[in-house]
Amino acid sequence: MVGPERPQFVLFGSSIVQFSYRHEGWGAILNDIYARKADILLRGYSGWNSRCALQVLDKVFPKDAAVQPSLVIVYFGGNDSVSPQPGGIGSHVPLPEYVDNMRKIAIHLMSLSAETRVIFLTAPAIDERKVRHFFGNNGRKNDLCRIYSEACLQLCKELSVESVDLYTSLKQRDDRMRDCFTDGVHLSSEGSKIVVREILKILREANWEPSLYWKSLPSEFANVISYSFVGPDGNTMPMVEPEFHEYMELEQ
């Protein structure tokens, strides 16, 4: 382990998580915002559904770990919601089983420690035209995404788990929704900014102690001054930590 110890934020999910560092993705943006404040750990598994997640839950999040995560952001649902294929192949998980799987995931994560916080991301809306172009008729439909998204939101309300309604957040961009995806399913930089905006809103407003909002967390080694620039007068100038002005639009 590399020190000093920082809060750990774990991103756990399927390809929306695994690919979150591509195309200026939401994982990369969070990693930038939380530089020197928290470690963002990626546990993304392309093609997985909630059934797959349950098989490894104890291995990814062992209850006897010396250090438990401060935050776990979970995304499963998009692959679960794909319509069932002949012979039972494919990633489809029936809605009642999906809800039960997500319940088990939430309960396990909340049991890790008294200070482990959890955020669920729901199944997002998709761009069906792009999906057909890239994947053909693969069983992905917005009507199904909406049903699984609503079920996830209802579960989170029942368990008092924070949630991001990705279906509604993306669907609200209906006039420009195609800009939110690279292939109709996976997020572009534009789509990732929507995800980060919703996550930051939760972190800013949640009544969590300690707060996990980036402005509330101390910067590592802030007392060590780095003289990296030489001014016009020949004197060294201290490097000032950036305030991430490029991301201020995500704080709206």
For residue 252, pLDDT over 70 is answered with no
36, HSE (Cβ side, Cα atoms, 13 Å): 12
Residue of 13, 34, 23 lying closest to 203 (CA atoms): 34
* pLDDT confidence bin for 247, thresholds 50/70/90: low
Give the model confidence (pLDDT) of 168-196 as tens digits. 999 887 667 789 999 889 999 999 999 99
Burial of 157 (0-12, 13-18, 19+ CB in 10 A): exposed
Distance in angstroms (rounded) separating the CA atoms of residues 56 and 212: 26
Q: In 10 A of CB 5, how many CB atoms?
A: 10
CA distance 31 to 37: 9
**225 vs 92, more confident:** 92
Q: Are 10 and 43 in contact (CB under 8 A)?
A: yes
Confidence band (pLDDT; 50, 70, 90) for 137? confident
Q: What is the pLDDT of residues 33-66, one digit of tens each?
A: 999 999 999 999 999 999 999 999 999 999 999 9
Given a cut of 80, whether residue 70 has pLDDT beyond it is: yes
The mean predicted confidence, pLDDT, of the chain is 90
Alpha carbon 108 to its chain's center: 18
The set of residues, in sequence order, having a beta carbon less than 8 Å from that of 86 and lying 6+ positions away, is none
Q: In this predicted structure, what is the pLDDT of residue 238?
A: 61
Q: Provide the CA 202 distance to its chain's centre, in angstroms.
A: 12
Question: Rounded to an integer, what distance in angstroms lies between the CA atom of residue 239 and that of residue 155?
Answer: 46
Question: Residue 43's pLDDT is what?
Answer: 98
CB 150 within 8 A of CB 99: no
Most confident of 85-99, 120-134, 198-212: 198-212
pLDDT for 60 equals 98
Q: Which residues of 34-65 are buried (b: 16+ CB within 10 A; e: fewer)?
A: bbebbbbebbbbeebbbbbbbeebeeebeeee
Report whether the peptide linkage leading into residue 242 is cis, meaning its omega lies within 30 degrees of zero.
no
Interval 107-111 mean pLDDT? 98
The residue type of 135 is F
Kindly report, residue by residue over 84-93, the tens digit of the pLDDT: 887 777 899 9
* Cβ–Cβ < 8 Å for 168, 180: no
Strand partners, 140: none
Would the pLDDT of 221 be above 70?
A: yes
Question: In angstroms, rounded to a whole number, what is the distance separating the alpha carbons of residues 148 and 103?
Answer: 13
Point out the residues that are catalytic.
14, 183, 186
Q: Where are the beta strands (DSSP E) in the chain?
A: 8-13, 39-44, 71-75, 117-121, 162-164, 227-230, 236-238
